[in-house]
């Protein structure tokens, strides 16, 4: 049975991807900061074999220790889904909060690097593996007040291309999925618990759901060995660009 390692599995796209990959026949390493949510997800997936790791991707030592703690049956990761990340705040750069900047860059960029570096030895040793980084439409077009978040996702796009080149000799596929407007906890985190403001983001149109992204990921990882779906942009039908949305 192949092993999929998913960061940020406790909610949103990560959780939906866990469910979809379990249905596709993978055993799972589920990681996140909220242990109780991971445990609830594992119960939902039973009897699919799961291993739970609780850590913050921003903490390199914690990432390394967690990956090294995996039992042999889960240690050889076939698919890595770098999903953990966040957006904090939405405002002009001159009024930005440096703590928000740190949180986004540490999670979206450095966290991806820490997890990838910890998991890669088993892939390079076997000359096999598949890495999918969750980017964003924001990584391909900057929008007003999105400054640092957009920059962090642009970094994910560049890292994905760099990783694909560096890992090509090891037969490791590297790809990126770039979602548009997906109705998850994303806006609740961005607006720091302002539930009304978060809900307003998705009013007047039908946004993507986490399962839509998960289904694309399953398609990507189940292609034949000679195929790498290297980059996908997935938007709601009502969305023409990052901030251009047709609302009824």
The set of catalytic residues is 149, 153
Looking at beta carbons, which pairs linking 145-148 to residues 24 or more positions away fall under 8 Å? 145/90, 145/91, 145/92, 146/90, 146/242, 147/92, 147/93, 147/96, 148/93, 148/96, 148/100, 148/101, 148/104, 148/105
Residue 241 phi/psi, 5-degree rounding, is -160, 180
By the 10 Å C-beta count (0-12 exposed, 13-18 middle, 19+ buried), 203 is classed as exposed
**Residue 76 and residue 73: Cα distance in Å, rounded?**
7
Within a 10 A sphere around the Cβ of 136, how many other Cβ atoms?
Answer: 27
Task: Supply the angle between the helices 147-167 and 98-105 in degrees, to the nearest 10.
Answer: 20
Strands, E, within 159-225: which ranges?
172-179
- What's the CA gap between 171 and 201, in Å, rounded? 41
């Amino acid at each position: 049975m192949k092993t999929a390692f998913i960061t940020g599995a406790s909610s949103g796209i990560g959780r939906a991807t866990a469910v979809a990959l379990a249905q596709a026949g993978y055993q799972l390493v589920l990681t996140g900061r909220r242990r109780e949510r991971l445990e609830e997800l594992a119960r939902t997936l039973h009897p699919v074999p799961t291993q739970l790791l609780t850590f913050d991707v921003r903490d390199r030592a914690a990432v390394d220790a967690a990956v090294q703690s995996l039992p042999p049956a889960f240690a050889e990761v076939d698919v890595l889904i770098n999903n953990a990340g966040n957006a904090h705040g939405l405002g002009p750069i001159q009024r930005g909060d440096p703590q928000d900047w740190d949180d986004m860059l540490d999670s979206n960029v450095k966290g991806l690097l820490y997890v990838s570096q910890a998991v890669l030895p088993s892939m390079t040793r076997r000359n096999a593996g598949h890495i999918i980084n969750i980017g964003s439409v924001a990584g391909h077009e900057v929008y007003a007040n999105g400054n640092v978040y957009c920059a962090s996702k642009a970094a994910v796009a560049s890292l994905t291309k760099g990783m694909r080149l560096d890992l090509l000799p090891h037969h490791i596929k590297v790809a990126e999925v770039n979602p548009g407007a997906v109705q998850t906890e994303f806006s609740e985190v961005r607006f720091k618990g302002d539930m009304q403001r978060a809900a307003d983001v998705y009013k007047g149109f039908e946004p993507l759901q986490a399962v839509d992204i998960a289904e694309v990921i399953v398609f990507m990882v189940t292609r034949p060995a000679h195929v790498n779906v290297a980059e996908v942009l997935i938007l709601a039908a009502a969305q023409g660009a990052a901030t251009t949305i047709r609302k009824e």
